[in-house]
Amino acid sequence: MSDAFTTRVLHIASGTRERVVDLTQDCEAFLREAAGDRDGLLNIFVPHATAGIAVIETGAGSDDDLLAALHTLLPADDRWQHRHGSPGHGRDHVLPAFVPPHATLPVVAGRLELGTWQSVCLVDTNKDNPRRQVRLSFLA
């Protein structure tokens, strides 16, 4: 593999409750090793059918607001055709249509180019799967 493309898999314990997990520090640590001082793109991908990646503000209530909005859009009840797992689990399989399983972000001089309040987050509403993988890939 050339140094123009580098990848790493993070193993995230998201637990047994709905969560928004801030991955920004993990992304920055990866870029310190992979990017050096180069420009490029960081791709973040979660290879799960019931989780997504969001770029949002965290810590000021926005992460809880996102989960509340998802509850409004995708209620955890018995309306879903997909019926294995916890009650309402079918909604978790619809989540990636609203919160995609990937994001591609600019890297300038080895640093992630985020806005002042933006963070890279794993959005996991699936209480049945407490372990997640997130693939970080840097392309120079």
Residues 20, 25, 28, 34: is their CA dihedral positive or negative? negative
What is the reported pTM?
0.94
Question: Is the pLDDT confidence value at 13 over 80?
Answer: yes
Q: What pLDDT, on a 0 to 100 scale, did the predictor assign at position 83?
A: 81
List the single range of 21-30, 72-81, 130-139 with lowest mean pLDDT. Answer: 72-81
Q: What pLDDT, on a 0 to 100 scale, did the predictor assign at position 82?
A: 86
- Residue pLDDT, tens place only, 14-62: 888 999 999 999 999 999 999 999 999 999 999 999 999 999 999 899 9
Q: What pLDDT, on a 0 to 100 scale, did the predictor assign at position 15?
A: 86
- Structure tokens belonging to residue 54: 């969001």
CATH homologous superfamily, domain 5-139:
YjbQ-like (2.60.120.460)
Q: What pLDDT, on a 0 to 100 scale, did the predictor assign at position 87?
A: 85
Count H helices and E strands in the chain, helices first.
3, 8
In 3-state terms, what secondary structure has residue 122?
strand
Note whether 105 and 111 are within 8 A (CB). Answer: no
3-state helix, strand, coil in the chain (%, to 5): 25, 35, 40
* Count of alpha carbons within 13 angstroms of residue 60, beta-carbon side: 5
Q: What pLDDT, on a 0 to 100 scale, did the predictor assign at position 3?
A: 80
Cross-strand pairs, 77: none
